[in-house]
Structure 1
């Protein structure tokens, strides 16, 4: 009994000493560091020379992480590698310009959308000589001009048959050949300029046809003017590409593993793949391809900023957006942060700071 009492006197002070030295080991859990994967995608993710990141997606994530009290570290990956690592649960969340697609949803989860855009096509504007040649050989233009000449010849022939023997004012040339030419000129003026004075014609039939053609040519001239203006403007400033349906006939580029590349592949459009968007635009500048496909917001931002720095002066985004894209954060399956992250995301999107950030990155300068 005495030995037990003596041992107890030594054991209990030692136990108290251990509990005092490590008071938090049983009650405090260390929060894990969230692994964030990203890639350079201005203006959503901009990687700086010192290794830090900024941009719209980074700004949104920083606000969310602060609200949730999350510790994190960001590592850069190429797009395909990032998607694979999220699918394999090696990266907890992907933060960049990641489009939400059904194919990707099969591999991992997505947050709510935080930005909506479309796919778009960028081309290199042609030189003046090339643009002029393109304009003169434009199939649409040649078709319109051919239709005008045929219509002018038809109208001129009708008036020639009706008026050349009785109307010395309109048909003053002595030879038949010259009068035929006068008839064609009359038809051409009628088609392109509009109806003549009703009293210029001597026959009743000619006057009746004049009244009927007056209505038709007014609409015809308006349509032809609009069509020629469109053909001239687009043919001179851009290219023959008017939308994704035209890409099959031209060398095309897209970023590897992007939704743009998937879109082209699904439609059987053979295209070259490039590592990043800057490399993609360089290929267009060097005329390795005649068009590139990427997200409209990214293309507009990159080309605008490049032009401000004296680069890519002839590149332009065509005004034909297609295939809507919604950006979200890619999240590993069964993440414990998904619900809280979505709530925080919706909250940040309603703040003045987020609206101001959108204005700063996308406002015209």
Structure 2
């Protein structure tokens, strides 16, 4: 019995000895190589070469959850992606869009911010604003429809009422009475139904009932269209939709998702090394419009206006090509699950919501 018990005791001791280094390794603090590039407000390179910003704050909290040390180094966008791909960097922390092309060569964390592409332009003068309003094709189409409908309604009422209704058709002469009919139709279409008893013929009164229902919805629709047309006209921009960029000089950041999207839409454009150069080119009128991330554009233009710069630049209210930002991670990283768990925990925290408010609040 003693002979068989001894090997068992030795085996247990040996297993404990082998397990001890593993536990020690689990308790050691790993140091990760983190890369970033300047992309306010997500990653902002300070004068002392350190980084701050929303993405950096997120990573600081993740690193604390994971109990890892790290160093952050500065890179260009292409260099950053290549370094993560070849394993020189463990994680990329900035405003990197999650795209199928990038997913082929590296991994991403869960999304931590959802945004979209937007268009920024330089405002034109007041005369151009007025011109944009009255040359708006949608507005001109609405006016044409109103006049055609008014003429049709006026003709119908003229044929039904002009012989017996001296109150509505009081002018002498056929042409003058037809003009009265047109004015009646115009008032009916733009103002709404008249008093039922203004008309003396039964068909005229029946038509009044149907037109009362029709004009109620028609006037509401026209009001919405006109409000939209005037709003877009007062934006002081020739860009009324994304398709307008086809005939304009457009800029985008080099190697960015904005540039790739413009290429996919067959829109010729110039590329610039960063968003600051893009805004400067737009302000100098070297280009007519720029396409970039909506959140980044709004943040930089807002901060520039606070310093008295780029005061005529604005972001247009057009949203397209949804973007999701994530942390770029080297392929087959052993830290991916830990990063994702920590990221999801932080995204639901009150501190993260407060940070979003501080960076993106309008006032």
TM-score grouping bracket, smaller chain normalisation:
0.7 to 0.9
Q: Is the 8 A contact 2:40 2:53 kept in 1?
A: yes
Which whole-Å CA distance do the structure 1 matches of 2:109 and 2:205 have between them? 71
Query: Which residue is 2:148 aligned to?
Result: 150
Query: Which residue is 2:71 aligned to?
Result: 73
Which whole-Å CA distance do the structure 2 matches of 1:188 and 1:38 have between them? 63
Offset, 1:111: 2.1
* 1:220 correspondence with 2:192: no
Residues 113-135 of structure 1: CA deviation (Å, up to 9, x unaligned): 22222222223333211010111
Query: Which residue is 1:292 aligned to?
Result: 290
Query: Which residue is 1:364 aligned to?
Result: 362
Q: Is the 8 A contact 1:121 1:318 kept in 2?
A: yes
Which whole-Å CA distance do the structure 2 matches of 1:203 and 1:31 have between them? 93
Q: Is the 8 A contact 1:252 1:290 kept in 2?
A: yes
Which whole-Å CA distance do the structure 2 matches of 1:271 and 1:44 have between them? 25
Please say which of residues 255-264 and 245-254 is displaced more in the overlay. Answer: 245-254
Offset, 1:232: 0.9
Residues 260-307 of structure 1: CA deviation (Å, up to 9, x unaligned): 111121222222211111222222223333332222221221122222
Query: Which residue is 1:265 aligned to?
Result: 263
Q: Is the 8 A contact 1:123 1:238 kept in 2?
A: no
Which whole-Å CA distance do the structure 1 matches of 2:214 and 2:349 have between them? 56
Offset, 1:139: 0.9
* 1:280 correspondence with 2:278: yes
For residues 1-365 of structure 1, the aligned pairs below 5 Å read 33-239=31-237, 241-365=239-363
SS in 1 for 2:121: strand
Number of aligned pairs? 339
Unpaired runs of at least 5, structure 2: 1-23
Larger Rg over CA atoms? 1
Unpaired runs of at least 5, structure 1: 1-26
Which whole-Å CA distance do the structure 2 matches of 1:157 and 1:351 have between them? 67
TM-score computed with the length of structure 1 as normaliser: 0.85
Residues 76-99 of structure 1: CA deviation (Å, up to 9, x unaligned): 121112112222222232111111
SS in 2 for 1:96: strand
Which whole-Å CA distance do the structure 1 matches of 2:48 and 2:36 have between them? 16
Offset, 1:176: 2.3
Q: Is the 8 A contact 2:146 2:189 kept in 1?
A: yes
RMSD: 2.4
Offset, 1:173: 1.8
